[in-house]
């Protein structure tokens, strides 16, 4: 065999290995993005004197005039989470070759990332202070994000079989109910009134979608490791 032939065969064997390693890293990024979000949330809350994880909204950790120790940490979350989730989205789109539901889910994830880039321009004010256009924009962004989350979970639900479908539908139900519960506190926050259980309700809403992303990442990693196809399964 000529040296050219040997070089061609080694290159052909090397490319799939590199591609596989890259794909694993992209999918692992989804798992890391969810873990990082929860970690930043809990650490930022611990650095906000008097903050209640049970009764206060997540956005209050980075609200205008929030303590610097909390707000500065939260400002790092957006870019880091965005990069990790973008990497995961690329992995989902790569995994979705031949799987229409998964690819549509990936494209909606991409729209979710683009929409999320507007968050820094519309921070909320501390509860009980004057409401401005920034607070209205914050609410609109929250509502739009929820619609996009429901969208990528809804399409992704049909990508990996019946058990994943059942899990996804349950996730969507919990997410929808807690989203309604979260938005029901808008007037109380604006008036500076107590908001019992808001922190728990909103965190269930956020954490359940983060868990769905983590489960999808693990499911795709397992499927790739076992050499499963990218088509829709029925198991």
Tens of pLDDT, residues 56-75: 999 999 999 999 999 988 88
Distance CA 225, CA 227 (A): 5
End-to-end Cα distance, the chain: 46
8 Å CB contact between 51 and 62 = no
Beta bridge partners of 125: 64
Q: How confident is the model at residue 127 (pLDDT cuts 50, 70, 90)?
A: confident
Checking if the pLDDT of 53 tops 90, the result is yes
Q: What is the pLDDT of residue 75?
A: 84
């Amino acid at each position: 065999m000529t040296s050219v032939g040997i070089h061609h065969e080694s290159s052909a064997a090397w490319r799939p290995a590199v591609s596989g390693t890259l794909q694993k890293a992209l999918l692992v990024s989804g798992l890391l993005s969810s873990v990082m979000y929860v970690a930043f949330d809990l650490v930022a809350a611990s650095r906000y004197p008097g903050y209640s994880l049970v009764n206060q909204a997540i956005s209050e950790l980075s609200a205008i005039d929030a303590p610097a120790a909390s707000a500065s940490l939260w400002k790092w979350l957006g870019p880091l989470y965005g990069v990790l989730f973008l990497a995961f989205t690329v992995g989902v789109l790569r995994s979705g070759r031949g799987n229409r539901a998964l690819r549509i889910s990936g494209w909606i994830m991409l729209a979710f990332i683009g929409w999320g880039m507007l968050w820094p321009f519309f921070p909320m004010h501390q509860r009980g202070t004057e409401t401005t256009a920034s607070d209205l924009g914050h609410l609109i962004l929250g509502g739009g994000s929820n619609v996009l989350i429901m969208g990528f979970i809804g399409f992704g639900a049909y990508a990996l079989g019946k058990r994943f479908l059942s899990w996804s539908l349950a996730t969507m139900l919990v997410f929808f109910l807690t989203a309604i519960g979260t938005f029901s506190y808008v007037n109380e926050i604006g008036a500076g009134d107590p908001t019992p259980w808001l922190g728990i309700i909103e965190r269930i809403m956020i954490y359940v979608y983060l868990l769905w992303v983590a489960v999808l990442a693990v499911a795709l990693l397992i499927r790739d490791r076992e050499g499963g196809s990218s088509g829709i399964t029925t198991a």
